[in-house]
Structure 1
Amino acid sequence: MVVIKDIVNRNALSQTFESNKLVVLFFWAEWSEPCKALQVVAEALSNKFSIDVLKVEAEKVEDVSSDFNITVVPSFIILKGSKELDRVDGADPASLTQKLSAAVAKYPSVSPLDRVRSLVEGNDVLLAMKGSATAPRCGFSRRVVACLLAEDVKFVSVDILQDEELRTAFKEFASWPTYPQLYVKGEFVGGCDIVEEMAANGELKELLKLKLGPESFNKPKDIMAHVKSLVESAPVMLFMKGSPELPRCGFSGRVVSALKDTGIPFKTFDILSDQEVRENLKKFANWPTYPQLYVKGELVGGCDIITELSAAGELTITIEDMLKTK
């Protein structure tokens, strides 16, 4: 569903950044006649391309206007998540149409069901829940998290409260009306009552062993060795909050976008899914924040470094040079 809504402060943009969707920011002012005309154009383009338009009253929401260096209204910023793809300053409907067409061609929209399918099939154990594994937002979600933690199994959680499209799509995907929802190896297991019952009679452990293998339950005794093995588990490895399909913070979303632009394959690890890894990776790298990008086991940096390299056109060659080293 196409959305045209008002952005009233910087925090209101955070969900847009996390969704990693293609959107248009429309900076406007009440006194501007061109803004009134361009709103009609924006609404038409929104329907044509199925892109959400987020309106920002430039003089009232000054922090957002400052973030995007707005000096004239109307202005349009085309975003993919938190990354600025292009902009149109002033009343230029032809340029806006051309630039939106180019963005849509480069980043074709992904349906909510396809996003769910990617999450379910891309993670061995996935829990669609309210809140996160470390901060559940409902008792049922907390109880299923407890069941999984009791089994010492690694799992990824998706906070459906952060994305209304995903919240609806998961229900359709599983033909299941409530949350949480547990998936193992791409198959829907059930909700809270089913998972608790399976945990109580031992069926959950048997299912996990059958689908994942007994080795999934043996935590390494040396956590730093485990962290090192994760860092070296792929030539290009990104430790982030969330997944490429659903980044859980704007910084992670920016780095994912920059990496996708290089065309170089990379793997990710959701540090929100494992508190032990999250804390010890900071010590391993002597780096206090996330995301963290590694190439052949070496730390490249966090969001600021990656986005600076990307903006300078140096990210691709930096990664390629590091991949060539023995």
Structure 2
Amino acid sequence: MSTTVNSFEEFELLQKDNKYLVVLFWAEWSKPSIQISAVFDQLAQQANNNAANKLKFLKIEAEKVHQVSGKYNVKSVPTVVFLSQGKLVNSIVGANPADIALQTNNFAKTCDTVKEEKKLLNERLEKLVNQAPVMLFMKGVPDQPQCGFSNKTVAILRENGFVFDSFNILSDQAVRNGLKEYSNWPTYPQLYINGKLVGGYDIIKDLNEEGELKEMKP
């Protein structure tokens, strides 16, 4: 079944815990809303019966939780919106059960594709960070760094006698964006030793000044 949301705070919590949301905005006084509500519950039940389906179905009274309605520019009921990590992907205005069912199915397929692509990217990132005992993800290459922090990091590694491989994150947008999430580190360069993140330039600099970096050499 779908989940009824009664407050903006409740919606925010559910959105945080669920990447893919299908949300019905409705009103008690709207007969089309009541019709679509029954269809919506059927779609939610079908999704619940499919273990691989990660869609979360929410019902929101548009006028009662107006903060959410306003956030997604809902101006009439019933309206169904499709959200991927909080971003509006699609919306359907009006009582059109066939279209809602079709778009829900398409949304589920899209989500499955995104999840598979992310899985493959994470597998690739894991191989990259373990490609060598010491891996530096930087802007440019060691002999031609393309940012000051990458240049300084290379210098520190060489001063300490590190043998390392590198990856130019400017050459691959998927790796550049994906590694930030994979490592939970928002900037570059990033240094990995034995597959584990050491950190960026500031941490490398501090470790070097304290004499700890050399001790980490494989």
Q: Deviations over 1:130-161 (max 9, x none)?
A: xxxxxxxxxxxxxxxxxxxxxxxxxxxxxxxx
Letter of the 1:30 counterpart = E
* Residue identity in the other structure for 2:93: D
Aligned residue number for residue 12 of structure 1: 11
Matched to 1:271, the amino acid is: W
Instruction: Give the alignment's TM-score, normalised by structure 2.
Output: 0.55
Aligned 1:26-175 pairs, distance under 5 A: 26-49=24-47, 50=53, 51-108=55-112, 121=123, 124=126
Q: Do the aligned partners of 1:77 and 1:86 also contact (CA within 8 Å) in 2?
A: yes
- 1:42 shift after superposition: 0.3
Deviation at 1:215, TM superposition (A): 2.0
Secondary structure class of the residue paired with 2:134: helix
CA distance in structure 2 between the aligned counterparts of 1:73 and 1:54, rounded to whole angstroms: 15
Change (3 A) 1:56 1:239: same
- Indicate the structure whose relative CO is greater, using CA pairs within 8 Å and at least 6 residues apart: 2
Q: How many residues align?
A: 165
> For the Cα contact (< 8 Å) 2:2–2:41, is it kept in 1?
no
5+ unaligned residues in a row in structure 2: which ranges? 48-52, 137-141, 155-165, 191-196, 204-218
Q: Match of 1:225?
A: 150
Residues 85-127 of structure 1, C-alpha deviation per residue, up to 9 Å, x if partnerless?
221112221221222233234333788xx89976974554xxx
- Give % identity: 22
Contact (CA 8 Å) 1:7, 1:13: kept in 2 or not? no
Cα-Cα RMSD: 4.4
Output the CA distance in 2 between the equivalents of 1:10 and 1:278.
Answer: 38
Amino acid of the structure 2 residue aligned with 1:56:
I
Give distance in 2, aligned partners of 1:123 and 1:216. 12
Q: CA deviation at 1:74?
A: 1.4
* CA distance, structure 1, for counterparts of residue 87 and residue 29 of structure 2: 29
- Decide which structure has the larger Cα Rg and report it: 2
Show structure 1 runs of 5+ residues with no match. Answer: 125-184, 186-210, 244-268, 281-326
- For normalisation by structure 1, the TM-score amounts to 0.39
Relative to structure 1, the CA distance from residue 48 to residue 109 in structure 2 (aligned partners, 3 Å threshold; closer, same or farther) is: farther
**Equivalent residue, structure 1, for 2:172:** 235
Are the equivalent residues in 2 in contact too, given 1:24–1:76 (CA < 8 A)? Answer: yes
